[in-house]
Structure 1
Amino acid sequence: MTPQTLVMYAVIGAMHVVGAAMLLALYRLVRGPSVPDRILALDTLYVCAIALLMLFGMYLGTAVYFEAALIIAMLGFVGTVVLSKYVLRRDIVE
């Protein structure tokens, strides 16, 4: 077994683990007892989506998915800040 195939198996295994983490975060998003729990679950989904795109880009050997992961990271950060501000003040724009 060459090191390259071993790395590909590790990437595929990591993709499965990240997929399971996304399912658990989705469960928390749907069944979350409070709004902050749901915001945290949504933030976790953003991070897992970024990780999954990075792993998929490594698996295919292309850089397009890295740029998509960067866009999701920026949108996820802004979305988390806006939702947190809304929960705290019940107003987004001051």
Structure 2
Amino acid sequence: SCVIFSLQKLYVTMFPCNECAKIIIQSGVSEVIYFVEKRIDNSDYVYVASHKLLSMAGVKVRKHQPQMSQIPIKFQEPRNGEPSMNAASIFS
């Protein structure tokens, strides 16, 4: 059984290697957003191949450009069984 993810975005920490690129293509993912990319030069053939595979398959690839340099998270002690963190407290 195979799950198809057509027209879906995939967020990854590092640019996918060629083996991961094959799986991404077979899954039908339409866009890959990555945070860190290995330096591409002729000696790093795995990532050069990955770029080519994704491009030939029509998968859009882009580097994530964060708006903030960090995300502060404030944790609180639970009160009366409430969650220890809420969305409002994250950015306050």
Q: Which has the higher helix share?
A: 1
| TM-score interval, normalised by the smaller of the two chains | under 0.3
**TM-score using structure 1 length:** 0.22
TM-score of the two chains, using structure 2 as the length reference: 0.23
Q: Which has the higher strand share?
A: 2
